[in-house]
Amino acid sequence: MNKALAWNIKLEPKKGKYLEGPRSRWHELEFGISVLFEFIKGFRQLHFVGPCITVFGSARFDENHQYYKMAYEAGKKISDEGLTVLTGGGPGIMEAANRGAFENGGRSVGCNIKLPQEQQPNKYMHKWVTIKYFFVRKVLLVKYSYGFIVMPGGVGTMDEFFETLTLIQTATIQNFPLVLIGKEYYKDIWEMLQKMMAQNTISNVDMDLVLFTDNIDDAVEHIKFYIRENYKMRKLKPLKLLMERFT
């Protein structure tokens, strides 16, 4: 391995706990309880916020960037359809989508994550929850949504895109529309997906629900079509016994 590269990826000993293997049974029990608590916290905060459309994307674009402006427009148009905009709750694309809904009379919520940098809740949300674990956060961002818009982003956004696509492919979630926005940005990713189809590692059916576009109107119409065809929105009522309420 290149020495410079090895130096860049070296972890400080105090932070390098990922390869410890099994820890004490008590510690593992504590971890399991902590995960359960995070799920329950998320369920209680987000149970009445839907129906949602989740917007994924980078935390690093400012309000002058074209992708920020596109995400703002996506948030506005999603809210125009009476749907709630759900994001990871941070800055950049997440802020833009939340802001598009928030400033135009729509419903805007987030599922934030605890990170050392970049990830502070943006101010354009009516409600949000902050989660400790990435995998819990991803479950919540999928659980409450009827469709997904993936804007340009980094490794985290790619993780969210491919995990959501895998859930659709394996019928863990069914007929949920997935839109990839950024034809130039995601050109190589799209070509790789086409190569996968050509090599039969995925099927054409797997890609039927994926729309690749730069047009926000087409993205929202695509989502509306699949919602109309496949889903009936349910009205949920808070239970006084559980101290639930609409917010």
Report whether 79 contacts 107 (CB < 8 A). Answer: yes
Residue 223: per-residue pLDDT = 94
For 25-231, CATH number out of 3.60.20.10, 3.30.365.10, 3.40.50.970, 3.40.50.450 equals 3.40.50.450
Helices 155-169, 134-143: axis angle to 10 degrees equals: 50
Yes or no: say if 108 and 247 are a contact pair by the CB < 8 Å rule.
no
Residues 89-123 have pLDDT tens digits of 999 999 999 999 999 999 999 999 887 665 688 99
DSSP letters for 46-114: HTTS-SEEEEE--S---TTSHHHHHHHHHHHHHHHTTPEEEE-SSSTHHHHHHHHHHTTT--EEEEEE-
pLDDT of 110 reads 95
Question: pLDDT-derived band of residue 7, with 50, 70 and 90 as boundaries?
Answer: very low
Q: Could you read off the pLDDT of 9-18 as tens digits, one per residue?
A: 555 555 555 5
Confidence of residue 50 (pLDDT cuts 50, 70, 90): confident
Q: 246: pLDDT confidence band, cut at 50, 70 and 90?
A: low
